[in-house]
Amino acid sequence: MPATPVPQSSYRLQLQPGFGFTDAAAVAPYLASLGVTHAYLSPVLQAVPGSVHGYDVVDHSRLSADLGGEAAFRDMVAAFRSHGLGVIADIVPNHMSIAAPESLNRQFWSVLRDGPGSPFAHWFDIDWPAGGGRLLLPILAGPLGDCLGDLAVDAGGPDGPVLRYHEHVLPVRPGTEDLPLAGLAEAQHYRLADWRAAATELNWRRFFDITSLIGVRAEDEDVFAATHGLLLQLMAEGLIDALRVDHPDGLADPRGYLDRLAKATGGAWVVTEKILTGTEELPPGWKCAGTTGYDALGMAGGLFVDPAGAAPLTVGYAKFTGDTRGFAAVAEAAKREVAKGSLGAEVRRLARLLAQSHDPALRGLDPGDLGTVLAELLAAFPVYRAYVVPGEPPPGTSAGIVAAAAAAASDRLPARLCPALTAVATLALGESGPADAGRWRDEFTVRFQQTCGPVMAKGVEDTAFYRWTRLAALNEVGGEPDRFGVAPGEFHAFAARLAREWPATMTTLSTHDTKRQEDARARLAVLAEIPGEWAAEVARWHDRAAALAGGRGPEPGTEYLLWQTLAGSWPIGYDRAAAYLTKAMREAKTPTSWQDPDAGYEAGVLAFTAAVLADPGLSGRIAAFAGRIAAAARVNALGAKLVQLTMPGAADVYQGCELAGFALVDPDNRRLVDYGRRRALLAAQDAGAPATDLDTEKLLVTSRALRLRRDHPDWFTGGYAPLAADGPAARHVLAFRRGGHAITVATRLPDGLRRRGGWAGTALPVREGRWRDVLTGATHDGSRPLLSDIALRLPVALLVPAGA
C-alpha cells in the first residue's frame, strides 16, 4: 500500500488496446524508481471496443476487456502495490457512448426498443414531447426516404428482430417487425434522421456536440449507483485509492455530485477536471482536493513568457494575417457561431422551455427571438458555467457572472429584446415571479448551465484557439491567449492561495487534452523575447513557401499557426504535421470544417506543407531557427517543470513527459511511449551518467524532484514562501521555499538574460548555512549564494540543507 492515500505525485498512463493493464503493470518498477507515489489511469471501464482513450464507456459494470479484463486489472494493481504505488482512476460520470452497434450500451438499447416505457429512460436527458414521443437518431447519410435501400430487417438477432443500417444495429419495437420497411422505420420509438439534423433537431443531451456520447443523469440516485458501483467496489476493496472526475461541469449539480461521491468513498482524494478562466476560483464548498491542474499549467507556464513581447508580436501577427481583432472578439464570435450552429439543438431546447413562461417579456417572442437572446447570453458568458441549484439562493459569484454576461449581451441585442434578456438571466439564476413557478423553470436553470460549458469549450478551445494564433503557446485549455505572461508576484500569490486552500490539488504541464505538450510551449515562449527576429524569419519562410507552392496555401491565420507548429515541435515529419493541420483547419471552421470539409482547400494546405518539409533550403532554415532558440527553450522547459513539480499541490507527470515532450493535440499526444528507453536512461543516470541533453536533463529534474517529494512529504504539504533575488538580474529568477527546507530556483526570460550579459552579481538571500542542490550535488555556503554559481550547471536548482 502507498504511504498515504493523498498523492504527493502521480504519473498519467493512457491505457489503450496497445497498452493495457498488463503493460501498465510492467512499468511499475520504473514509476517507483522515477519517484511517483501514484499511478494515474485513464478510464478503466468497458468502452467502445478499440477505444484509444476510454471516455466512451458503454458498460459501467465491467472492467475493459480490451485492456485485459478484471484478472489483468487485479494483477496490475498488485504490481503497483508491490512497488509502493497507489492508484488513481479516471471516472466519467457525465456521459456514455451510444456508438454502433447500439447493443453495446444495454441501457440505451432498452430505450430504443421500449421508448419512454423503458426502465432506463430516466438515465438520459431526453425531451420526449419535443420529438413527438420519439428519440431522434441522426445516423443516416441523408433523408430517410433516400436511405431506405440501405436499411434491412434481420429477424434472427439474439435480441429479437433488428434493423440494420451499415454498422448500426437497432432494436425493432415489438409488434412492428412485419410492417413494410418505411412503415417500420416510422413505428419505432426512435426517429431515423440525416446526421446533420443533430445540430438543429436533437432532443436529448449529449457531450458537447458529439452525438455518439449521450448525457447521463448522474443526479439520480439509482443512476449514480449503477454507473459508479464497480469503481466504488474496487475502492472498498483497496484496489483504487483516488479518483479524477471527468467534466464535472456537464452534471446537473456538480457540488451535489461531489457530496455524494465523498460520502460513497469515505472522503477519498478526488480532483475534478474543472476549467477555471480568468480570476475564477474553484467553488469553496466543493468536496474535492482541487482541480486537475489547468490553472497551475497556465500560471507556471506564464512565468516564462515575456510580457514585453505582447505588443510587437501583436503587430507582427496583424501584419502577417491582416487580423487586427483581439482574442476576446474572436472568441465571442466563435461562441455565437457554435450556439447558433452545432449546438443549435441545445439552444432550441432552452427556447422550448422559455416558451412555457408567463413573463410578458418572454410570452410574445417567437422561437427565433428566444434563440437570439439565448445565443447572445451564452456567447457573453466569461466562464464555463454558473453553479445554481434550483430552490437554493444563487451563490454570489454565480449571480455576478450571470449579471456581467447579461450586461455584455445587452450591447449586442436590439432594445426590444433587452427585457427578454433580463427575464432569461433571472431564470438562469433560478429566480422568477410566482407566475413562472414550476418544474420547467428548474429544468431551464439546470439545462442553461449545462449548455454554457459546451458553448465555451467548442467556441473557445475548439474554434477560437485555432483562429487567433498570435502566440500558440498561450492557446491552452483554461488559458487566455490575450493574457501575456505571469509576473513572479502573481505566481507567488496564486501558489500561496493553493497552499492555504487547496494544498492537495493536482498540478500539471501536459494532459491528454492539451493542445501541445509542455516543451513545445516552452520553445514557443522564446518567441516573446525575440518578436522582431521571429517576424523576419516567418516572412522569409512565407516567401519561400509561396514560391514553392505557386501561390497556393493556407489562409494567413492557419499559415501562421503552421510556422509555429513546425518551430515548436521540430523535427516533425509530414504525417504528424498533416494530421495536426487537418484537425486545426477543421476546428477553425473557416474555409473547411468537420461538418463541411472542403477537400480542395485541405489538399492545397497539405501540399503546401509537404513542399515546405521537402525543400532542403526551407526545412533547413526552420531547423536552424529551432537550433537558435534551443538554449533558451531548454531553460524554459526545465524551469517550468521544476516549478510545477515543487509548487503546492500533487504533481502530475503526463506519460513520457519526464523526457522532452513535443507532441501536438490528440491523438498525437496519446501515442505509445517508449518505456524501455526511459528505463535505461534513468538507470544510467542513477549509475552516474551525466545529463547531456534536454531529455536527460529533464529526466534528472523530474526524478530528483519526485524522489524528494516522496521522501520528505511533510516539506511539500506545508507552507509556501516566496524568495526574492537581489541584484541587476533579479527579474530573471523565480524562487520559493517549501516546508522551510526545499528551495526551488528557476531561471526565466533567458534570452533577455543573455543579452544583458548574465547574472552580474545577482544573489539569492537564503537562510545561513550550507545548501546542497539535489539535481547536481553542488553545495553552496552562506546566506547569499550567487545565481551564477547556483545556475552554473543547470538553469534550475532544488536546494536542501546539506545535512538533510
Tell which residue, 20, 346, 342, has the closest CA to residue 196: 342
Q: What is the pLDDT of residues 47-61, one digit of tens each?
A: 999 999 999 999 999
What mean pLDDT, rounded, does the chain reach?
96
Mean pLDDT of the region 689-701: 98
Instruction: Write out the H or E segment, with its range, that includes residue 678.
Output: helix 675-686
Task: Return contacts of 479-484, CB within 8 angstroms, 24+ apart.
Answer: 479/294, 479/297, 479/298, 480/277, 480/278, 480/298, 480/327, 481/327, 482/326, 482/327, 482/328, 483/302, 484/305, 484/307, 484/309, 484/310, 484/528
The answer, yes or no, to whether the previous bond of 101 is cis (omega within 30 of 0) is yes
- Residue ranges per domain, the chain? 9-94+218-292, 102-214, 307-326+468-484+531-628, 336-460, 631-801
Closest CA relative to residue 90, chosen from 7, 26, 14: 14
Average pLDDT over residues 540-569: 95
Specify the pLDDT at position 584.
98
729: how many CB neighbours lie within 10 A of its CB?
21
- Per-residue pLDDT for 519 more than 50? yes
Amino acid 620 reads: G
Domain 631-801 CATH (choose: 3.90.1570.30, 2.60.40.1180, 3.40.50.1110, 1.10.150.110): 2.60.40.1180
**Chain segment 120-175, per-residue pLDDT in tens:** 999 999 999 999 999 999 999 999 999 999 999 998 777 789 999 999 999 999 99
Q: Say how far apart CA 245 and CA 100 lie, in whole Å.
A: 26
With 90 as the cut, is the pLDDT of residue 552 above it?
A: no
Question: pLDDT-based confidence at 433, cuts 50/70/90?
Answer: low
pLDDT, tens digit, for every residue of 98-124?
Answer: 999 999 999 999 999 999 999 999 999
The dihedral sign for the CA sequence 600, 601, 603, 608: positive
Which residues share a beta bridge with 738?
720, 742
For the chain, what percent of residues have pLDDT higher than 90? Answer: 94
Question: Does residue 667 have a cis bond before it (omega within 30 degrees)?
Answer: yes
What is the CATH number that goes with domain 9-94+218-292? 3.20.20.80
CATH of domain 102-214: 3.30.1590.10
pLDDT at 277: 92
pLDDT for 803 equals 80
Q: Is the peptide bond before 571 cis (omega within 30 degrees of 0)?
A: yes
The whole-number average pLDDT for the span 414-430 is 96
395: DSSP letter: P
Residue 91's DSSP bridge partners are 245
The CA distance from 339 to 125, in Å, is 19
Q: Which residues pair with 709 in a beta bridge?
A: none
DSSP H helix total and E strand total for the chain: 32, 24
Choose between 279 and 618: higher pLDDT: 618
Residue 395 CA neighbour count, 13 Å, CB half: 15
Number of CB atoms found within 10 A of residue 728's CB: 14
Please list the residues that pair with 736 across neighbouring strands. Answer: 722, 744
Q: Which helix (H) or strand (E) holds 770?
A: strand 770-773
Q: Is a pLDDT exceeding 60 seen at residue 2?
A: no
Q: How do 650-654 and 720-723 pair as beta strands?
A: unpaired
Which residues fall within 8 angstroms of residue 567, CB to CB, at 6 or more apart? 523, 524, 527, 622, 625, 626, 629
Does pLDDT of 437 surpass 80? no
Give mean pLDDT, residues 725-752: 97
Predicted local distance difference test score (pLDDT) of residue 439? 84
pLDDT-based confidence at residue 3 (cuts at 50, 70, 90): very low
- pLDDT tens per residue, range 179-195: 999 999 999 999 999 99
CATH of 307-326+468-484+531-628, one of 3.30.70.1520, 1.10.10.470, 3.30.70.520, 1.10.443.10: 1.10.10.470
pLDDT digits (tens, 9 = 90+) for 63-96: 999 999 999 999 999 999 999 999 999 999 999 9
CA dihedral 778, 779, 784, 785 (to 10 degrees): -20
pLDDT digits (tens, 9 = 90+) for 750-799: 999 999 999 999 999 999 999 999 999 999 999 999 999 999 999 999 99
When pLDDT is cut at 50, 70 and 90, the band that residue 593 belongs to is very high
Q: What is the DSSP string of 592-645?
A: --SSS--HHHHHHHHHHHHHHHH-HHHHHHHHHHHHHTHHHHHHHHHHHHHHHH
